[in-house]
Each structure stands twice: as structure tokens, then as C-alpha cells.
Structure 1
Amino acid sequence: MREGADERGIRKGIILQSALNLDAQFWFIYADLKTLPDLGRALHLTLTFSL
């Protein structure tokens, strides 16, 4: 019984971490789009971080 609860907790932690990573990448890319005059470079970064 205890093992099942631990596994669920670990899985939730991984999902949460993934969501936080995606959010951080989004804001990083958004900042690049605002600060870089070169849109091509920002789009390249976006594609790089999406993979």
C-alpha cells in the first residue's frame, strides 16, 4: 500500500517539474523575442528549446 502512494507522489513531482520547466522556457523565449531585434535568432532559439 505504501509503495503505491510513494510512486504516485514521485509521478506527481515529475509532472510538476515538467510543467515548471516548460513555463521557464516560455518566459526565457518571450524575453528573447522582446529584446532581440533579430526575430530569426529568437525563432531558432524557440525551436531549439522545444525539442
Structure 2
Amino acid sequence: MSISSLEFSVKFLSDSISRSKFSRPQSVAYLHMLHMYLLRISASPLGSPM
């Protein structure tokens, strides 16, 4: 999974969350958590989670 596809998935998720009516603080917290997780995956040398 390349970094561009990771960025695309993050943008797609943030777009769908901001478009949906339930854009609450918990949605933002979930998106932030997912973003940090994706950053950790893309930063690891093998590209594997954990």
C-alpha cells in the first residue's frame, strides 16, 4: 500500500465524515486516531501494522 493510497483513504474518510450529518467530536477523534495509525504504518520499514 503506497503512501498516496493512504492519503487518498484519509481524504476519502474525512470527506465522507464531514458530509455525513453525524460529524461530531467523536468522529473527529476517530479520524485522528486512524490518521495516526496510517502514519505509523507508512513510517514502518516493512509497511506492516505494528
What is the TM-score normalised by the length of structure 1? 0.51
Deviant stretches of 4+, over 4 Å = none
Amino acid at match of 1:40: P
| Aligned-pair Cα RMSD in Å | 1.9
Report the number of matched residues.
Answer: 36
Name stretches of at least 5 consecutive residues in structure 1 with no aligned partner: 1-13
- Which position in structure 1 is the counterpart of 2:13? 28
Query: Percent identity of the aligned residues?
Result: 0
Which structure has the larger Rg?
1
Higher helix share: 1
Name stretches of at least 5 consecutive residues in structure 2 with no aligned partner: 37-50
Q: CA deviation at 1:35?
A: 0.6
What is the correspondence of 1:1-51 to structure 2 with a 5 Å cutoff?
17-51=2-36
User: Which of 1 and 2 has higher RCO (CA within 8 Å, sep 6+)?
Assistant: 2
What is the TM-score normalised by the length of structure 2? 0.51
